[in-house]
Each structure stands twice: as structure tokens, then as C-alpha cells.
Amino acid sequence: MDTKSLARSFIYTDWILTETQFEPDKLHSRETVFTIGNGYLGTRGSFEEGYVRALPATFIHGVYNDVPVVYTELVNCPDWLPLVVIVNGDRFRLDRGEILRYERQLDLRYGILSRSIRWRSPSGHTIDMQFERFASLADEHILGQRWQLTPLDFDGLIEIEASINGYPENQGFNHWENIDQGKTEHGIWLHSRTRNSLIDLAIGAKMTIWGTEASVQVNNAPGYPTLSSTFLATAQQTVIVEKFVTVYTSREIDTPVTAALEKLAHLQDYTVLLNGHKQAWERVWQQSDILIEGDTTAAFAVRYNLFQLLIAAPWHDDKVSIPAKTLSGFGYRGHIFWDTEIFLLPFFIFTQPKVARNLLSYRYHTLNGARRKAAHSGYQGAMYAWESAVTGDEVTPRWSLPNDFYGEDVRIWCRDREIHISADIAYAIWYYWQATGDDEWMQDCGAEIIFDTAIFWSSRIEYNSPSDRYEIRGIIGADEYHEFVHNNTFTNRIVQWHLEKALIVYDWLRQTLPERVQELEQKLQLTPQVRSRWQDIIAKMWIPYDPSTGLIEQFEEFFQLEDINLNNYEPRQKSMQAILSIEGANKRQVLKQPDVLMLLYLMRASAEFPYNQKTLQANWDYYAPRTDITYGSSLGPAIHAILAADLGNLNEAYQRFMQAAMVDLEDSRDNTKDGIHGASAGGVWLAVVFGFGGIQLTEHSPVANPHLPANWTRLKFKLHWRNQWHEFDLHQTLATEDKGNKEKEDTRMGEQKDNKDKETSTINAQSPSETSHNPDIRGVIFDLDGVLTDTAEYHYLGWQKLADEEGIPFNRVANEALRGVSRRASLMLILGNRKYSEAQIQEMMARKNRYYIELLKNITQNDLLPGAIALLDELRQAGIKTAIGSASKNARQVVDRLGIADKVDAISDGYSVDKPKPAPDLFLYAANQLGIKPAQSVVVEDAAAGIEAALAAKMWAVGLGPVERVGAAHVVLPSLAGIKWADLQAKLNDAANKKIDIW
Amino acid sequence: MDTKSLARSFIYTDWILTETQFEPDKLHSRETVFTIGNGYLGTRGSFEEGYVRALPATFIHGVYNDVPVVYTELVNCPDWLPLVVIVNGDRFRLDRGEILRYERQLDLRYGILSRSIRWRSPSGHTIDMQFERFASLADEHILGQRWQLTPLDFDGLIEIEASINGYPENQGFNHWENIDQGKTEHGIWLHSRTRNSLIDLAIGAKMTIWGTEASVQVNNAPGYPTLSSTFLATAQQTVIVEKFVTVYTSREIDTPVTAALEKLAHLQDYTVLLNGHKQAWERVWQQSDILIEGDTTAAFAVRYNLFQLLIAAPWHDDKVSIPAKTLSGFGYRGHIFWDTEIFLLPFFIFTQPKVARNLLSYRYHTLNGARRKAAHSGYQGAMYAWESAVTGDEVTPRWSLPNDFYGEDVRIWCRDREIHISADIAYAIWYYWQATGDDEWMQDCGAEIIFDTAIFWSSRIEYNSPSDRYEIRGIIGADEYHEFVHNNTFTNRIVQWHLEKALIVYDWLRQTLPERVQELEQKLQLTPQVRSRWQDIIAKMWIPYDPSTGLIEQFEEFFQLEDINLNNYEPRQKSMQAILSIEGANKRQVLKQPDVLMLLYLMRASAEFPYNQKTLQANWDYYAPRTDITYGSSLGPAIHAILAADLGNLNEAYQRFMQAAMVDLEDSRDNTKDGIHGASAGGVWLAVVFGFGGIQLTEHSPVANPHLPANWTRLKFKLHWRNQWHEFDLHQTLATEDKGNKEKEDTRMGEQKDNKDKETSTINAQSPSETSHNPDIRGVIFDLDGVLTDTAEYHYLGWQKLADEEGIPFNRVANEALRGVSRRASLMLILGNRKYSEAQIQEMMARKNRYYIELLKNITQNDLLPGAIALLDELRQAGIKTAIGSASKNARQVVDRLGIADKVDAISDGYSVDKPKPAPDLFLYAANQLGIKPAQSVVVEDAAAGIEAALAAKMWAVGLGPVERVGAAHVVLPSLAGIKWADLQAKLNDAANKKIDIW
């Protein structure tokens, strides 16, 4: 997979995503990536100060409004973020002035987005700024912002304007009318209303300033209420600004303005509210966290995907559901697909069952919409919309219209033909019921959905008399590369399954609540004839399955289509539809996403027909190579990961899993700007729990049959099953073990214990490196000049100037001898056997240093050598410590100017030790600073003296440059450009095995 | 025609439209009606203070941007109007507090919109406010606003915030990205850019305050720069605020921000700029005005329509054209249709030929778009777009998409089939050339258009071999109720005409500029074969014309369609398409707009085939009754008016003319909110000049053959023809006259003299009323109590209280005797023969008056009797003067409280004369005030004494109430409710003939 060099600016640690550079060309995808939310609303990670073409957005669940072509869309709400900061007359913008430090962090554990910046204004004033924001999970109507401003080198006027922007937009469209606005003693407020759906929204805001004399003014420009203040700031003194925003809509209260102002008037202080918010997050993670050890990236990425699901979860609202792009972007207009029931729901069923109930209740509340769709389409019962919004009516657009004057209108057929959604919902209800035992909801809501969609099916299915079988013709299956097919096996079987379960639910309901059965029989005209037809359909539904081979034909005559070898199209950066056109794809055996394999995945849960190992293998072998798993649907990879894990193909499983897990962090499909891939995020949980964890649902409990990826040393998660919590703490094992666990496997095992609302865990640990001779590297010490930067050039210029002044011959060739040599030693080499007094020597050293320091002022990030930043970041991510080990007395200054001070854990410089390289002292000092042993240390050097010093310190040495110079090192590289930590490790491992006794 | 009681709040005088009430339910149509502009931009008449759901808009010619479905639209630009006024803490809004006076005026002569308001804030502070705005016609980049604020009854703080709103919207969509903004020493500025078309717009603004101590602050909320000020205002002292706005786009200058700020920095003062603007308007009207006498409404309405054309005219830009809804609304998205060439252009050709040249040059600059359309459609040459914007590519939407979930997509076929536009443009070019003699433009631009569209036609036309004729199949003609027809005669003939003229132009060009012919021959592949094919097509084009009857079939088999009698559908308020559906209309002989008659109108200009009187009559008789002239296309009425005038059917002509002239003033199609009906406005000029003026274009000059409507005493206009101005001053005549004029007519005549850039006029005047016995009414005098208002009730309550206090029996029955009786006389009647001293009498009179005045404080507009306002307004419009003739000494106070002070010309009250009614003195006094004779006066009275007084004054008397009371009057009515001036006149005429000697 092409990582598009995105890793460069992201660092993943346990819970924290760190962005280390301001990258305006990635503005939109990063706004998505840094979304925060609390399940009531989601706010994209746009910058407070605003940029042209930025796409700030706040989406509130259930707030939709009309729009042409796509009928309705999730509405971008008034923006609560805008902050203008004017520093001594210069408006703060990262694209002006100079960024001296930049770090943005998303803390998943506590749902806090923060940013730390040191900025020098165009007029040359330097200021430190901290931005923080959160959407309270403890009280979903409260949003908080805190800014800290510290002038570094000036006293001056700072103006701030914090606004509510009442002109938000959905791709240019503003769904709101501003009804009224005003100020109160506590702040400002704005009252807006959606144009067609007439939802009222009220936002209140107030602002407090600490650490200076400042009063807050109100400007009430129409639709743009603003809290502003101008104050005198003093160098090195921090001013803190806190802003609170309260939000209500008429969806939850009749008088949102009153509610927002009431809440605003009685807010507790920032710290108290933030702590409440953090505690709420801790409670959520107690149930939903997955711990992975041994694979930092996967560990973080899994949590990141779960975070996306949690911030989009409607905790307190059962009339909304999670859109395909969650509450994080404009893609798919906030419409709700089968993604929710099939991909997202299991995570909630097993870790936050109340949310799962809310999500399914949304389908109950939109049942009438599904009934209208059935009636408009000429069918009975309830036919769920392929894309659904507030009412449940069909909102899939009919057309993709061209932008150019003479382009083709492209008809979108999903609304008409992708009908499996009604069975998908029944499937989700069934497993919600199985997992939770929530009989009450099944009686009140679930049964009615299952029955009325079953009634739809019996009106939709055709009886083929000559063949005496039931068929479903003219549809789109799960695979959307084929737009008009008959008897798609996925659909035929899931519908058959649906009718099977409908009869079971009917019998159960008749036994447990006969009056409800009667009620539904009447309401839905659920006659004995209807049920008998269901039975007939179950018996005679056509499922083209070949029991001898296990191979299933995707749909009628699929095997007659032109075959395809996707390898012939590699390398590619786009989907097969983009390459072949939809007509071309229609004619070939190429899949956008799993279809037969999707069916097998669904039937796997209870090992129902046609799922079994043989069928899985046969169909995997046939369909996986024909599936556009890289650029087809983002729904595919996680499902492939699970099935590949089932089949013992862990490499494939891990690759697909990481594809799903990183899709937004790496923007690998180039559409993260449109919002988080919600189904993929749900799929990540499925892949970890059902794929690697190998969870199988038995009658009594979930059981683990783990297949952990090679580098995972531990996998820990909890599942809620029928009112009990089950904790799984799974470990990599190299040999068979038995600690009272009946399940055995050749190479891996897991163990799980039941408990009642209490956690217990069992650990089977073994160090994966015990049997290897590989060095146990814990830290890397970098020389500075010639390794991370080019300051050698500045030294050379300094020495050259000195030499010229003294009339001593000197040139670049002569300079080569000075690499890694201390200042005094360098001077000695230049002076040769010329005689100078100690005072003269001191003066010359000082003079050269003045020149050098003068020259250093020109250093910037641009002076970093290629590969330096990338490797430093990668090391930090991998948990490897880093230090600078430089003979220079200016090392700190250089490190600061290069902007890498926050990327290294320690700096050893010309002041640290007395004996210069080639003595080992400097590196030993550095290793000591890092708290690691010499044998756990790697030195990266470009000078012979440095290599000698590293070897003298008994450290691993990496030499940069020609073998003539650094050939003594364990590993020799031309430079750091393109060097990955994994590669370097491999080379060091090789070296360790070859020349283990180099020391 | 249903006037929808709109007349009630509009008053039309020569040049001024006055709106007398704030009517929030008509917000959108009034925004259109009060649009101002200068041909560079148009700004809808939205209120500065802003209202929910208001549709403020400023459109700049040529500023388009992409939009789904309709490809591109004219962009609503940042709003320069917003003004927040806060009066002692209360934000000024007409829907809060109390409106004590309201008048909005559009001055057509000088292009100035003003508003005068007396408003009492919710806290009870009364303030007079004058708003004025103009878009300079002298410098199109300058916009001016002036506000005058006069506190009446308080000293207090006034805050004003004048903004530029950088979030304008086209039906919710904001086409702009705000690039930057800031402040300068002269004011504020905003720099925005359209999202797709990347047009930069800069707006600068500054504000000056006179008459108080006030400083101006700048707030720079993102996208909403604001100039604000807070000052202390003093009762009865006027504060004047002047705001200037400068506007540039990258369409006319590379650095619009610099240009806007430069202009802002060097502006002259308000009065100077306003005067320059007014002088520019005077110059324009000198050429374009039409004077009508004898019909106030028509006189105003004609000027109103011409004003709409003039403010949308691109004076200095030849790359734009006038959209169907001008620059006044969102309808048709600013797209350009045949409306411009066929309906609007003649006005400009004959009165502002430079604008006509610009408009036609737009078609030249978009010729490549027309070529692309031809190529994409598989044809040669240039095929103009049915709807056109910047590039000339086709921008007619393909679809009208449903808003509801299951509605039908309706395909719009005009882009594919309504192809006559290419010939319409050739037609317009031909007549531009004929009228102006602009050979240079014809050589440079016109010829190329005519040739390349002719080449298109020869590739589009089919040869029908069996019939040996050319045909045009599968199109839409002028009539859009038939969407797929063959051989539409309108199209066949106009195409044939086009090819005829193409050959003439070719020959002319070969003679006058042979090198240009060669150039075009090469460029367009205009070979002799092509020209010979044109000749063949001309010879064999099928024109289904029956010379025996003159009847023309609209298209092949039209006469076989089901016939229709539109009378059977009356009364109706919607189009026949809305009634029958388009499919239903397709099948019937019902026309949306003239089609055969449109062809006859076009051929009428030079009396070309098939136009002649017989053909006209035959086809009028057939098609006019089958045309949906009321609710079909708004393009129809003016054309019908012209043809009806030709046929001598002046009633019909006048009715259709007024339908066109009033379409927006009366919002008779309920879509004025979408913008001015531009084609109808152009049609109004055509109807006046060609219809009523009967202008015919001869080889040497235009000649008038007038047919003036009965009430028009004078019609005066100018035409520019081949570098000469021709003035027509036409008069109604009752008998044949001859003043050296060879043209004679039975009842009417006109005369015209040529001159060179100099006006002369000839007048043939005769009073139309000389031969009638009808009274020559010039004024109406209204009693107040019981006629215009109910104050009789307050008098009664006052007398009742007095009588009770004095122990005198009194009741409502007794009160009836006091109608129209003076205060002293009333008291005498109440006291009867009881004895009181004069001092007691005086005291009682004073006491009753105190009670009465106290009670009067409760009077409001609601106390006006039904019909009062309507009649007062109608009289003012008709030029009839009005007075109050009331015995009350409180009449003025009552008139003020009723809010009708500005609707009457004089007030005669209890102080005016000594002798009370039934003496004639009061009414004689009133007539004298009005400057009219008693015989020209009507008195409206409800009291016997009043009628007696009127008759004694030898005036016409109208009595309101029972015959028992007012039977002596000439005319007796129950009340004024529903009374129209015309009705009243008719009754007075009757009375005059019956009881001429009642006096």
C-alpha cells in the first residue's frame, strides 16, 4: 500500500495522534481526521483561525434539510470555532509569518483536540499559543474551548474575536435562516432555523479571560455574533481565554434559546467540566477499549477507529442512526446505509448495547417510510430505503449529473435495485437479540420490522413455475459492479434466512406475548397464508450452490461473464470501475466488494448454510482474486481480513486489516476529506475480534479461537453477552500451552473467563525475541553535523573565513578532515605546525565561533538532511529513544533552529564531556541520559572519529558516507534518505549475526 | 384581471412609484419591484435592516458560477445594504414597535429608492428615518446610501452597524469564498472569489456621520466587515449618515481590491455624486422616455417597464447580455434566452443603439459556444444555446427534478429541440443593421453569425425526397405546449427568411469588403455549394400556408389534434399546462404563446410573407382564442396587443397591453418574486410604439399609423433611425383632421417630423369630454365622522358621559340626531329646553371635548371605515384631489391618528368657517383650498345636514346611509366599502343626466 509519505507528519502513541507539521495541502483530510464529537454532534478538526477553502463543519444527529437531487442532507450547523487573534496588528494565520513550532494532538482517551504553536508574526513578534477544544461527553449540550497566549519577546496589544458563524455551508449551501440573535449578561446567542425541515437551533456562547486586564465586548453583526476583547499582553506572561458554547435544537426541546441561555448561565468552571468529560470517556473506554501490544501502529489505529464510532454514537437518541461518513464529513450527505447494521452495529451490540438499541430503534421509527417505499414501488409490507434519513423514505439520488455542458446523465440504480437492505436489518435485529437477550425490544419493535419486511419479500419474490423455485430478479447484490442481475445468491440466501428467522420469531412471540402477535397479525395482515408462503419460499428459494465443489455462483450466469486477471492492471491507483467504466465492469467477473464471501461472512456467525470451511476455501480461492479489494468498496478489506484469518492466511489477513485500519489515517483512498469511513471503522473491530481474536458465538458465550498477527504480543478486549461481560486477554504463544484451557492450537492460543460486570484476565506471555541473536535496540544517538543537518557547511565557511584572514591555505578538501572533530582539534589541524600562543588560539576559536554562530542564523528546517525527520518520527512511534551526540558547543541552538527539539529525548553536546571523539565519553553520556545500555544503543555518525567513538563505547554504529571514511561501522549507508527503521533494524540484525564480536 | 388588491398600497404618479404600507407578506415581490441598478449591477429592493426569509440580491453582469443541474447561474454578490440601527437599545425592525408613518418611493426619473418612516420603538421612543440609495449611472462602480435619523420625543443613544455581508446566497447557495478583508484609513474592504469561475470581487465601503459627535469603528468579523458608530442623538435634531460603496471585479480590472480602495479614497461628496447620477439619468430619458397623457396608470407603467430595461442595460460591456429576469431576481438563473433579441432589443435599437450593439456583440463573443453545441449535437456551423450564459454553451437544465421522495423526473426538452433561437438572433442582427446602418459591426461580427448559423441550418434541415421539399423535424416551436413537432411553420419560415437574408448579406459584404468575405469563406468553409444549398432550401422549404383562406397550420397535423374551448376552463388562476399536464396540452390545440401569430408579428416589420391583413385576420381568429394568453407565457400579451391594434380591436389591444405592463406592478402571475419579466417589459415598448403608435418601418424612416386607446390623449416618443432622431407626438382625435399630413384615419391620427439630433413636435389636441354631459369632477370632499372613520362613536361616548353627569336622558337613538351637527348645536339638542348659562354651556362643551379628545387617543388606522383608504389611493392615482370637510375642531388630530394625513390635499375643519352645516360655507372653503369649482366637487357625507350643505354649495353629493337620512344626495351608497372611483363616476354621470338640475 502506498503510504503517500503521510507517516512523516503523524506520530502514533498509545492514545495520542500527533501531527507535527502544518500541511495546507492536506487541509480537508486532516479536518476529518481530527474530528471530535460526543454522539450528539460532531465537529470537524478545522482550525479556529480559518483558511480559504477550509471545510469547517458541525453536524448534529437528526438535523437534516432538503436539497436538490439527493433529497435531504445532514446539515452543517453554525460554526462555534471561529477565533481571530490579532498580535500587535498582525492577524494570526499559519500561512503568514513563521511557524517556529507546531504540534496538533488528538487525545482519544479523553476526546480532546489540542494544538501547540510558536509563531512569529510578519512584524517579528513571537508568541506561544495553545488551543484546546472538547465536546462534552458528560453533557452533550456543552462545548468548550481554551486558548493560552504567551508573548515571548514583546509586550503588545492582542485582539481576539471569538464568533459563532451563522453562515455555515454544505458545499456552498447554507441550510439556515437566522431568526434572531442577541446578547445577555452571560454572553451571546444565535437562533437559526433550517429552511425546509424547520428545525430550530440555538447556540449560546460566553468567554472569560484570565491573566490580564480585559473586558469582553459584543458585536452583533447579523448572523455573526462575536465576543471580542483587546488587551495588553506582557512578554512571558500567559493569558488564558476560555469559551463555552451551549447548543440545543427543537428536536429535543421546545424552547432551545431558553435552554441554551439557561445552561450558559449556570455552567461550572472549565476544569470541572473538562474533568467530568474525561471521566465520561474513561467509563466508555472501560467497556469498548481494545488493547494491542507489540504493534504500536495497529494498537493506535484500532483505538482511533473505535473512537470514531464512539463519537458518532447516539447515546441518548433513538430516532437517529450513524451515517456512512459518521458526523465527520459531507460524503453521502449524512445518509444511512446497511453499513450501520452490518458493519458498525456489532461493536455496539457487544460493548455499548444501549447505543445498539438506539440504532435499531431508528429503523423502527422509520418503518412507515419503508412502508411508503414499498407502496410506491408496488409491493406490500416494508421495503427499507437503500439510503435513509429522517423519515425512512428513499433518499438515494436517481442521478449523477454531469458538470460539463454536454456530459452524460448517469442513472444511479441502487434506490431501485439494491434491495438486500431489508434483510440486512432483520439480520442485525436477530443478532442484537441473540447477544443482548432484549426480549422487550424484540416484542415492541424488532418483531414488527422482521415481519413487515418479510411480507415485503413475499410480494417481491417471483415464483418460477417451470423450475418450481422462487427467484429474485433484476437487482443489485452486495457487489455493485453488476447493476442488473437475477438470483444474486447473497440476496436469495439472506432473504431465505430472514424468512426462516421470521417464523422463529413469530413462534417465540406467540408463546411469550400472544396479544402482541394478534395485534401485529391484524396490523400487518399477517395471515396463516402469509406464513405458509414464507415456508414455501424457504423451501424452494433458489440457491445455486454446488455441494461437490462448494463453489457458489454470484448470480445467474456470472460464470459466463468474461474472466479477468486483476494483476494485469497493477500497479493502479484507481478502482476497476474507473478503469473499465461501469459497463465494462458489468461484463466481467470483477467484484467491487465481497458478495458470495459477504454471505459466507454473515452465515459464519452461527455457522449456518452455506458456511463451512470447505465452502469458504473454495469461494475464497475463486472470488478473492477477482475482488477489487484495494480501490473498490472500503467495506471489503475488513471482511477479507476475517475470512483470511479463518483460513489461516495471516499475512493476507493482516494486510487487509491494516488497509481498513489506516484508510483514514493514511488517506489511502484519497477521500478522507469526505469523512471517516464508518463501515471500515466498524470492520476494524470485527476484524480484530472475530478475525484475529477468532471469537465464535456459542449458545452459552462467545469463545475465542485466536490467530494473532506475528508481531502482536497481546490482544485484550471485552464483550457483553446476555448481561455478562466477558474479557479476553489473548497472547502470542510459540508453543502449545495448557493452563486449564480446553482449547488448543498449534502455535497460538487464547483464554477467556466469564465474569459478571467485573474484569479478570489471564496472561500467557513470552518474549518473542528470547530465542534470537538480534540486538535489543532501545535508543539511537545521532551525530548532528553531516548526519541530521548540513551545519558542516557552516563550520567550513567559518573556518575558511578564519583561515583566509590568517593567510593559511584551506579548502573544502582540507575541511573533510575536520568531520566530527572538536573545535580546538579542528583549529590545530588547520594551523598545522604553525606557532601560535594559547591566547591567539583562544581568540581564533572564539572568532571562528562568532562567524559560525552568525552563519547559523540562516539555518532553518530546510537544512535538515533528507530522511532525518521521517526517521526521528518513526523511531518515536516505534518507542525507540533518540539523542543528539554532537561535539559542537552550539548543538542546542542548531537543534532549536532545525525545529527538532521536540523530536529528541536528549542532547549531548560540546559542554557534556571533556574528552572529544574518538573518545567514547560523549556517546556514553548520551546513553546514560536516555537510560539505556551501550549495547542497546545505535550511533549514527558521518565521521571516522565518531565511528571510532561509538565502537569504543561498545555501541552499534551506523556510518553515513563512503566506506573509506565510515567503513568501520556495523552498517554503512550513503545517507538517511529513504531509510526506514525496519530496514535499519534488519541490517543491524544481519550485522549482529555476522560480526557479533566486532567490539 | 385580478388586481389582488395590490393597488391599495401603490400610488402611481408621473415618475414615482409610492408604496404606502409595509406588507411583509409581499416581501419578495416588492424586493423585485423596487430593484435599482445602473447596467453594471442590479440590487433588489430589500430592506437595509433585514428580515427573515428576505431575498436581498446584487447581481453583476457576467458574474456567473457553476451550480448543479442548471450548470451555471448569475451569482448573488456580497450585500452592500445591511444596516442595523439600535434606538436606545431597541433594534429597528418594522415587525416590532409601531409604524406611525411609512412611505417607500422609487423615483424612475433619477433612479433613486427612498423610504420615509416614523417608528415608535417597543420602549416608546419615536424616531423619523429617511433611507435613500442609488447605484450611480454616472460611475457604475459607485453605490451610495444616505440615512437621516431624527429622534422626535427623546434624547438617547443610537447605534448603527453598516456592513458588507460576504455570505450572500442564491437560494441558499453561497458562490463566494472570502479571500481577505481589512480596513484602511478610508474604510473597510472585502475580497471574495467565486468558487469555480474564479472571478474576484472587491467591495470597499466608507461611512460619514453628520450632525452629531460620532466616530466610526471597524469590526472585521470574517466575511462580515462592519462600520459601526454609537452616538448621542437629541430630540428634533437630524443626524445624517452617508455610506459609499465601491465595487470592482476581475472581469474589468486585474486588481479589483486596489481599484475599489483607490476609488473609495477619491470620492467626491454625496451631493455631487448624486447630481452626476441624476444628470446621467436625464440624458438617458431624453432618448428613451415615452410620454402618455390621459391614462395615469399606463403612463407610469410604461416608464416603469422602460426603467427596468435601462437599469439592466450593459452600457459599457459587450460580453454580457440581459437575462430573462434582468438583474432583479433568481428566476431562470440569469440565463439569456431569445427574449433579449426578439423582445428587448428593439427598444435599445431605436433609443439606445450602443446598448443594442453590446447585446448583439455578446452573441458574437459566444459564437464558439454555439459552435461547440452544434458539434456536440452532430451538426455544422453555430447552433445557439436555448439558454446561454458566459461561454455560449448550452445551459438549459435537462431535468426538473422532484422534491418529494417518489416524484417523477421531468425531462426538459428545450435544450435539445427549441432551435429557432439561431434564426431569432439573425433576425435581430438584420434589424439592428437596418435601423442603425452600422455596416462596420455587420462586417466585423454580424455577418459571421448570420453565415455560421445559416451553415448550421443547412446541416440541420432534412430533405424529404418523395415530396421534394425541405423539412425541420422533431422540434419545439415558439409555442412550448407542443414538445415534439415536425415542420413548425414559425421555425420553417424564420429559417427560410434567415437564409434569404444570409445571401443578401453575403452579396453586400462581397461588394463592400471582399477580403472579409474571403476570410469568412475560409474560416467557415462557406463554399459556393453551401450557398447554392441555401438557395435550394429557400426555394423548397415547406411552409403550409393556404392562400385561399390565409390560414397557416402551426405544425404538421396540428389541425388533427383535439380542439379546445378555453372559455370552458374559466375562471382559472393557473396555466393550461397546470390544468391539463404537459401531456394533455401536447394532445390539444392549445397554445402557450403566439406561434403562427408570432411569425406574423416578426414578418410584419417589413410586411414580408406570409404577413398581410387577410392572413393576420384569419390566423388571429383561429389562434388567439386557443392561446393561453393569461397564464401561458408572459411573452404573449404584448404581441397580441400589437396584432389586435393592427386589426383595429383596441379593447383587446389595451387589455393585453395592460396585462403586459402591469405584470410585475400587480404581480398578476404570482412570480414577480423571481424577478422582473424582462421580455414583457420589452414587449410593452413594442406594444406602445408598434401597436398603439402604429410605427411602420419604411425605406426612409419610421412612419406612425396610430391607434391610441380611448383614454390616451397624447403619446410621445422618439426613435433613432439611421443616425437621425424621429420624434412622434401623437394625439387622440375625434374627427378627421388635416394639418398638412397625408395620412388620414377615421377617428385618430398622428404626425411625426424628422429632425437631426433635435426634437420637434406637433400636437393635435382635443378634449375628449367636450361633447359629454358628464360632470367634470376634479375633487372629492369627505366628511370625516361616519364617512372615513367611526369617530361618531367617540362623540357619542363623550356626550353620553356628559349627559350622565348632568342627569340628562341620552342614548344611541338620541345620538343619531347629532350626525354632522356642530358641537354647540349638538349640546343644544341634548340640553333641549333645559336652562343653562353661557358659562355652563361653554364648560360643558369643553368637558365633552376633553372626554372626546381622551377617547381619540384610542384611534388608529383600524378605525378607518372599509373602503376609505382604497378610494383615497385610487383618487390620488386618478389625479382627483381630495379634502376633508368636517365640522369637528379635532379633525386634524383625527386625520393624523388615522394615518391619512398624506393622502388628502386639504383639511377644512371646525376652525375654518363660522357657519356650520347645513350652511354651504365649509365645503365652499374646502373647494377653494383645492382650487376647484363647486361644480367640479363631490361631497361625501353621512348626515342629512351635510347633504343639505353640499347641495347648497352646488356640489355633487354622495350620501352614505339610509335613503331616509341621505336620500337628497345625487348618489346614495350604503358605505364606501368596495366602491371604485370608476363606479362612482358612472353613477354621478347617470345622476347628472337624470337630475341635472337638482340644484
With an 8 Å Cβ cutoff, the interface of chain B facing chain A consists of 50, 52-53, 66, 68-69, 71, 82, 84, 161, 163, 165, 167, 169, 172-175, 177-179, 195, 219-224, 226, 228, 372-373, 376, 391, 393-395, 398-399, 401, 403, 405-406, 409
User: Positive or negative CA dihedral for B216, B220, B221, B223?
Assistant: positive
Query: CA separation (Å) from A419 to A338, A363, A493, B903?
Result: 10, 15, 13, 69
- Cα–Cα dist A98/A122, whole Å: 7
pLDDT, greater one: B771 or B825? B825
Amino acid, single-letter form, for residue B611? Y
With an 8 Å Cβ cutoff, the interface of chain A facing chain B consists of 50, 52-53, 66, 68-69, 71, 82, 84, 161, 163, 165, 167, 169, 172-175, 177-179, 195, 219-224, 226, 228, 372-373, 376, 391, 393-395, 398-399, 401, 403, 405-406, 409
* Backbone phi, psi, residue B390, to 5°: -75, -45
Cell of A929: 541520559
Q: Give the DSSP H/E element, type plus range, for residue A62.
A: strand A58-67
Residue B584 · residue B592 · CB < 8 Å: no
Average pLDDT over residues B682-711: 92
Amino acid, single-letter form, for residue A420? H
CA-based end-to-end distance of chain A = 39
The DSSP symbol for A711 reads T
What b/e readout covers A715-724, taking b as 16+ CB neighbours within 10 angstroms? bbbbbbbeee
Q: Is the pLDDT of residue B162 over 90?
A: yes
Cα B922 versus chain centre, distance: 41
- For cell 565557511, name the residue: A797
Q: How many CB atoms lie within 10 A of CB A802?
A: 21
Query: CA separation (Å) from A434 to A363, A420, A699?
Result: 18, 21, 9
CB pairs under 8 A between A and B: 116
- Cα–Cα dist B565/B563, whole Å: 7
- Cα radius of gyration (chain B): 32
Instruction: Determine the pLDDT at residue A325.
Output: 98
- Cα radius of gyration (chain A): 32
The pLDDT confidence band at residue B733, using thresholds 50, 70 and 90, is low
B283 among annotated binding-site residues: no
Residue B538 · residue B497 · CB < 8 Å: no
Residue B827 · residue B769 · CB < 8 Å: no
Instruction: Determine the pLDDT at residue B894.
Output: 87
Burial of B780 (0-12, 13-18, 19+ CB in 10 A): buried
Residues 6+ away with beta carbon under 8 Å from B837? none
Task: Identify any residues that bridge with A151 across adjacent strands, giving them in sequence order.
Answer: A127
Closest C-alpha to B692, from B650, B738, B742, B635: B650
Q: Which residues in chain B have their CB less than 8 angstroms from residue A177's CB?
A: 52-53
Q: How are the residues of chain B apportioned to helix, strand and coil, as percentages rounded to the nearest 5?
A: 40, 20, 40
- Cα–Cα dist B55/B966, whole Å: 51
Q: Is the pLDDT of residue B762 over 50?
A: no
Cis peptide before B918 (omega within 30 of 0): yes
For A408, nearest residue in chain B (alpha carbons): B398
Query: CA separation (Å) from B904 to A174, B298, B779, B781, B953?
Result: 47, 23, 10, 9, 21
Residue B240 · residue B209 · CB < 8 Å: yes
Instruction: Determine the pLDDT at residue A21.
Output: 94
| Average pLDDT over chain B, rounded to an integer | 91
pTM higher than the cut 0.90: no
Residues 6+ away with beta carbon under 8 Å from B847? B802, B805
Instruction: Determine the pLDDT at residue B754.
Output: 45
Residue A681 · residue A306 · CB < 8 Å: yes
Instruction: Give the percent of chain A with pLDDT over 70.
Output: 94
Amino acid, single-letter form, for residue B477? G
Amino acid, single-letter form, for residue A745? E
Instruction: Determine the pLDDT at residue B38.
Output: 98
pLDDT in tens, B527-557: 999 999 999 999 999 998 888 999 999 999 9
CB distance A219–B222 less than 8 Å?
A: no
* Backbone phi, psi, residue A860, to 5°: -140, -175
- Coil, strand or helix at A425: helix
Burial of A465 (0-12, 13-18, 19+ CB in 10 A): exposed
Q: How many CB atoms lie within 10 A of CB A758?
A: 8
Residues in chain A: 999
Closest C-alpha to B151, from B130, B131, B129, B127: B127
Residue A479 · residue A593 · CB < 8 Å: yes
Residues 6+ away with beta carbon under 8 Å from B732? B294, B708, B710, B712, B713, B714, B748, B766, B768
| Angle subtended at Cα B677 by Cα B674 and Cα B678, rounded to the nearest 5 degrees | 125
Residues 6+ away with beta carbon under 8 Å from A558? A482, A485, A589
Closest C-alpha to B6, from B20, B15, A84, A65: B20
**Residues of chain A where predicted confidence (pLDDT) is lower than 70:** 1-8, 733-773, 820, 993-999
- The answer to whether residue B785 is catalytic is yes
The pLDDT confidence band at residue B852, using thresholds 50, 70 and 90, is confident
Cell of B314: 450593459
- For cell 432583479, name the residue: B328
pLDDT in tens, B427-442: 999 999 999 999 999 9
Mutate to test the interface with B, among A71, A75, A161, A224 (most CBs of B within 10 A): A224
- Cα–Cα dist A447/B445, whole Å: 74
- Cα–Cα dist B482/B583, whole Å: 9
> CA dihedral in degrees (A230, A235, A238, A240; nearest 10)?
10
- Cα–Cα dist A885/B193, whole Å: 52
CB distance B52–A82 less than 8 Å?
A: no
- Cα–Cα dist B993/B980, whole Å: 20
CA distance B398 to chain A (A): 9
- Cα–Cα dist B166/B180, whole Å: 11
Residue A746 · residue A723 · CB < 8 Å: no
Q: Which residues in chain A have their CB less than 8 angstroms from residue B69's CB?
A: 68-69, 401
Q: Which residues in chain B have their CB less than 8 angstroms from residue A169's CB?
A: 174
pLDDT in tens, A527-549: 999 999 999 999 999 998 888 99
- Cα–Cα dist A683/A298, whole Å: 14
Instruction: Determine the pLDDT at residue B8.
Output: 57
Q: Is the pLDDT of residue B648 over 70?
A: yes
Enumerate helices (H) and strands (E) in chain A, giving the number of each. Answer: 31, 35
